Amino acid sequence: MIRKLIGKVLRRPGRQVLHAKHYGVRREHIHHGALKVCDRLQDAGFEAYVVGGAVRDLILGKHPKDFDVATNATPEQVKHVFHRARIIGRRFRIVHVPFWEHGEEEIIEVTTFRGASDAPTDATGRILRDNVYGNIEEDAARRDFTVNALYYDPSREEILDFHHGVDDLTGRKLAMIGDPSLRYREDPVRMLRAVRLSAKLGLTITPLTRKPIPELAPLLENIPSARLFDEMMKLLFSGKAWDCLMTLREHGLHKPLFPLLDKLLSEPATKAFLQKALANTDTRIAEDKPVSAGFLFAALLWHEVEALWQKKTAASEYPVPALVDAMNEVEDKVEKRLAIPKRYGTAMKEIWMLQPRFEQRIGQRPFRLMEQPRFRAGYDFLLLRAECGLVEAELAEWWTQFQMVDGDSRLAMIARVANPAKSDKKPRKRRRKPRAADAAGDAE
Ligand code: ATP
Ligand code: MG
């Protein structure tokens, strides 16, 4: 008891066993697959716990995104218990146990306790492989933040807390386990995780954990672009995308990841555009609606594409090839830092290519545009541009109306654009970028 108290005061690591129910964590909150994995591994004589983010989120009264299990069984032993399990990863071997939920496959990730022994590192201190197994205490010490080193035992309904994670959760603190500088060097992505988790969970990064970040931010340049893309996705779809980007910038972490951010924020219209795009995403996530990564990346990079496109057309390149070139150049530039997977990249480019076509309101073109599979996303993108003054509001209003009215009225609307003098309304000024409009014509 006294040792526990001293440990608490001095914040020495040590096992604390807590009644899970007392913290609002119950068996029924746990994914049935994760429960099954724990129960069956325990029946087979192993230790098995729900670990990390799921326990943290449940204590905070939030709905966990995923349920991970940690065990002292080796990957091969886990596979022996679950024949359909797959061992994956090289740098960090883990086991995927598949379950079926509402006709869809869901994966429970099972990791074997990592050991404390020195893992091989590169010249910057980055851990290259981490496949040395150990016991639960060692595993807890290898996790990133104190609030992530929590283990829930569903059969005993207990939480094992090795680094005062529950205290930190109650105090709303995000603290690195061990020496923050060393831990960031081992894996620089932990800097991004600190930003995301603090924004998403409303936790304050403690001064010691925050201090080394600006100096170590450039280490992110050594991280493979596919992993950075995954982290960027997690940031953007955290439900607090704007806060995450602002915190990234505050710590200088946006530079290796998304250097365009400074330029976007320096102009009120592009800043408003980005903020609106991210706010829409956050709202959709809060309402449990699907979100499109292609749309979001289209918004994040549009300014760069548009600027380059205008430069190229001003240098008398034909508009459509100029737009395609601008898109490809921006994609290549971004690719070095963030490997945007092809499926998102294609959607993003389709949304961009539709933009000049909205300006073509003659003949059959508006009808043909509406038949495009990506029309809806392109139209939403146009609305967003209009809301921020990046394109005439009249154009977006026209398209909103065009979709609502019947065929004859549509023809009348097109006629009015062609010949505004005949319109019963006052003629309206149209700010139209001739080259952009021509581009759309060429595109057909
Ligand atoms: P969320 O799932 O809500 O994004 P999380 O903390 O659960 O957040 P995961 O990627 O699911 O993140 O990781 C599960 C657990 O694995 C974490 O809670 C943490 O204990 C550990 N972990 C993940 N990434 C790292 C890392 N880079 N370094 C050390 N431990 C990590
Ligand atoms: Mg998780």
Ligand number, closest to the Cα atom of 186: 1
In a domain, 384, yes or no: no
The residue among 417 and 51 whose pLDDT is bigger is: 51
What DSSP character marks residue 120?
P
Note the residue count of the chain: 444
CA distance 87 to 183: 26
Instruction: Supply the residue whose CA is at minimum distance from atom 1 of ligand 1.
Output: 53
CB contact at 8 A, 238 and 244: yes
CB contact at 8 A, 51 and 62: no
Look up 130 and say whether it is catalytic: no
Assess whether the C-beta atom of 91 lies below 6 angstroms from ligand 1: no
Tokens of 21: 């129910």
Three-class DSSP category at 168: helix
In a domain, 332, yes or no: no
Burial class (CB in 10 A: 0-12, 13-18, 19+), 62: middle
How far does the centroid of ligand 1 lie from the alpha carbon of residue 99, in Å? 21
CA distance 236 to 247: 12
In a domain, 167, yes or no: yes
How far does the centroid of ligand 1 lie from the alpha carbon of residue 52, in Å? 6
Average pLDDT, the chain: 89
pLDDT at 439 over 50: no
The model's pTM is 0.85
- In the beta sheet, which residues pair with residue 98? 107
- Ligand 1: atom nearest CA of 53 is 7
The percent helix, strand, coil of the chain (3-state, each to 5) is 60, 10, 30
pLDDT at 444: 30
pLDDT at 34: 97
* Residue 298 pLDDT grade (very low, low, confident, very high; cuts 50, 70, 90): very high
Task: Identify the CA nearest to 341 among candidates 228, 239, 244.
Answer: 228
pLDDT at 267 over 80: yes
CB contact at 8 A, 256 and 192: no
> For position 151, which CATH number holds?
3.30.460.10
pLDDT at 427: 44
CA distances from 83 to 37, 42, 78, 97, 415 (A): 12, 16, 9, 9, 67
CA distance 277 to 302: 12
The mean pLDDT value for 175-189 works out to 96
In a domain, 289, yes or no: no
Look up 288 and say whether it is catalytic: no
CA angle 23, 28, 32 (to 5 degrees): 130
Look up 438 and say whether it is catalytic: no
In a domain, 121, yes or no: yes
In a domain, 63, yes or no: yes
In a domain, 254, yes or no: no
Interval 16-57: pLDDT, tens: 999 999 999 999 999 999 999 999 999 999 999 999 999 999
Residues around ion ligand 2, judged by CB within 5 A, are: 53, 66
CA distance 112 to 114: 6
Residue 96's domain spans which residues? Answer: 9-171
- In the beta sheet, which residues pair with residue 174? 205
The residue among 13 and 271 whose pLDDT is bigger is: 271
In a domain, 22, yes or no: yes
Three-class DSSP category at 330: helix
Assess whether the C-beta atom of 139 lies below 6 angstroms from ligand 1: no
Count: domains in the chain = 1
